[in-house]
Amino acid sequence: MQISQAGLALVKHFENCLERTADGRFRAYYDPVGVLTIGIGHTNHGGGRQFGPGAVWTQAECDAELASDMYRADQDVNRLVKVPITQNQHDALSGFQFNVGKLGESTLLRKLNAGDYNGAAQEFHRWDKGRDRRTGQMVRFRGLIRRRAAESLLFQGIIDANYDGEPDAVQPVSIQPPAPTSRVESPEGEAPPVAAPTALPMPQQVEPPPVLKELKPMSKSSISWASIGNWFTTHFAFVGVIWEKLTTPEGLIIFGVFSLAVTTFTVMVIKGRIDIGKMWAAMTSDQARA
């Protein structure tokens, strides 16, 4: 990615060609912090063409060296930034690197590469100081304050047409383009456009389906018990009829006597006083003799 015309416009606004001669060329000069400069912010510290205090360049030479300087700044940004950025963000970072030259050691870059875009935008404002060549003290320069504010706004995509470091009163309204449409053929050959389906966000973590337990085959005993249950279900109506009879006074007496007899018989069987086998054998032998 390389700096756009919008990014170059910001750089040129703060880096004018100064010390113009009578014949239209430009002399070298010292900036407010004592750095020898020529053309559009070109110095001997950022690489490129070297020059001395008496150098005089034409406008074409100034423009050519600006293009060379911005190419190096673009390459620095492309090499150092590890996260996706927009054209506006690249322009702001290239302009910053061209002027400061310390993007690689900045907290701005560290926050940006960590994905903190908002935090990175606020870091521009910290780079507004320089050493006063007369006093030797670190001071804030009004030009740097405005420049860093303009770069921060550009990084955030906020319009600042006059580069005063303040958002313009009127900002462009973001209008979403209409959804693409697809046509569905009807028997008549015409149909109104149908909006194409919007893709749903893909889940980031898909859980595996639950593991189903292996079903064991039903045993014979289980089948017999199931058959017994089915038998009682089919005979439930008969049980209901008997229950209606038992709710009468005579039925309750009969049920009580019957229950007492069954209970007594069961207890005697359990205690061994009645041998079911012998009883059954006696019954079958009597039937055989009859």
What is the number of alpha carbons within 13 Å of residue 261 lying toward its C-beta? 6
What is the rounded distance in angstroms from the CA atom of residue 19 to the CA atom of residue 181? 59
Query: Is 15 a residue of the active site?
Result: yes
Four-residue CA torsion sign, 48, 54, 58, 62 = positive
Give the chain's count of helices (H) and strands (E).
10, 8
CB atoms within 10 A of CB 150: 23
SS3 170: coil
What is the rounded distance in angstroms from the CA atom of residue 270 to the CA atom of residue 108? 92
What is the rounded distance in angstroms from the CA atom of residue 233 to the CA atom of residue 225? 12
Tokens of residue 88, six digits: 């506006």
Catalytic residue among 19, 23, 31, 116: 31
Catalytic residue among 15, 76, 91, 151: 15
Query: Is 31 a residue of the active site?
Result: yes
Catalytic positions, written as ranges? 15, 31
